A and B are shown apart, each in its own frame.
Chain A
Amino acid sequence: MFDFLSRILGGKSRPGGPGSKSLAKERLKLALACDRVDVSPQMFEGLRVDLARAVSKYVEIDEAGMKLRFDSSDRRLALVASVPVIGMRRGSEAARRSKDRR
């Protein structure tokens, strides 16, 4: 009985999944993230290659598994990188540098 009433009166969500607004919100979030960043694919690729090169000086990475994205939640932009590490480099640049400093 309650179910029936709820259906004819239109409850919070419709049977068969959420209303179209969740889709609207998801699509908007994605569109705005891209709008706000406004970087060209070439620049993005350049950033990825340079970043991989820099990180590789210190640790051995799986470059193919590297993920890079901009996050613009909270109206502030963050560059979020996930870089799978295969192993540490012995006698790496980093180790040499810290020795120099000492």
Chain B
Amino acid sequence: MEGRVIVVTSGKGGVGKTTAVANIGCGLASRGKKVALVDADIGLRNLDIVLGLENRIVYDIVHVIEGKCRLRQALIRDKRLQTLFLMPAAQSRDKEAVQPEQMKQLTRTLAHEFDYVVIDCPAGIERGFKNAIAGADEAVIVTTPEVSAVRDADRIVGLLETQGVSGPRLVINRLRPEMVKRGDMLNVDDVIDILAIDLLGVVPDDESVITSTNKGEPVVLDGASRAGEAFRRIAARIDGEDVPFMSMEAGGFWSRLKRFIGMGM
């Protein structure tokens, strides 16, 4: 059976695409699925280091496209998960080294062998974006609850529509429950109301994302992390399981006290 090709994109940079790809990939592989992650951010390779696989790269995606190696040779197997593989980006080339048509062919080929092919899209809406979405069946849009990120996400929704990638789903990343409670941050309903697309998941702003990235171990593998739990649920939803959304209460002392005296929301 043919696998699903999913692009993770955002428009705005730095909102958490690479983090989401690494965690969704590990989350799906932990569920026993065969997963290939493709780093389409040519020139700004990151997915390898986030996954802790940076020392294993010999060939990259441009080598494959230029026929300098076979597809298999460029795929790196994850250290922890037997069914997770990475196709690294080229570091010393630029986005023009690849054509959308070539990208489409490569991801389609991967889809013959894997259950999921997840593509890490670069920021922006130029060539790198067009390459990344070329072979995608589905899209996940990542945003943060901030005006600039949401506005860019809206652009992406429109562009995906014109490119024929329909029904994108949204991940709201770095939500801060205490700011939402105060009315100082857009909440989940606000963002969904504005973008009018389906919600795939909400990930809290969480230090454990940074500490786990420091170690090259995606946070989804940390059973105690809130962000990790959020990504586990996102992976489950992608995999077709109907899981409830996580409560976004600030888990700290104040919120427990507030709940205790009956002021919790």
Give every chain B residue within 8 A of A5 (Cβ-Cβ): 261, 263
Interface stretch (choices B95-103, B176-184, B224-232): B176-184
* Residues A19 and B183 in contact, CB atoms below 8 Å apart: yes
Interface size class of A (residues with CB under 8 A): 20 to 34
* Residues A28 and B151 in contact, CB atoms below 8 Å apart: yes
Name the residue on A nearest B155 (C-beta): A35
B165-189 vs A: 1/0 string, CB under 8 Å?
A: 0000000000000101111111100
| Closest beta carbon of chain B to A90's beta carbon, Å | 46
Interface stretch (choices A6-14, A43-51, A78-86, A91-99): A6-14
* Residues A31 and B151 in contact, CB atoms below 8 Å apart: yes
* Residues A24 and B183 in contact, CB atoms below 8 Å apart: no
Query: Is B120 an interface residue when CB atoms closer than 8 A count as contact?
Result: no
Query: Is B258 an interface residue when CB atoms closer than 8 A count as contact?
Result: yes
Task: State the majority secondary structure of interface residues on A.
Answer: helix
Give every chain B residue within 8 A of A18 (Cβ-Cβ): 183
* Residues A28 and B183 in contact, CB atoms below 8 Å apart: no
* Residues B154 and A22 in contact, CB atoms below 8 Å apart: no
Give every chain B residue within 8 A of A28 (Cβ-Cβ): 147, 150-151, 186, 194
Give every chain B residue within 8 A of A24 (Cβ-Cβ): 146-147, 186
Q: Which A residues fall within an 8 A CB radius of B? A: 5-6, 9-14, 18-22, 24-25, 27-29, 31-32, 35-36, 74-75
Q: List 28 A-B contacts (CB under 8 A).
A: A5-B261, A5-B263, A6-B263, A9-B258, A9-B263, A10-B181, A12-B181, A12-B265, A13-B182, A19-B182, A19-B183, A20-B184, A21-B180, A21-B187, A21-B190, A22-B183, A24-B147, A25-B186, A27-B147, A28-B150, A28-B151, A28-B194, A29-B194, A35-B151, A35-B154, A36-B154, A36-B158, A74-B196
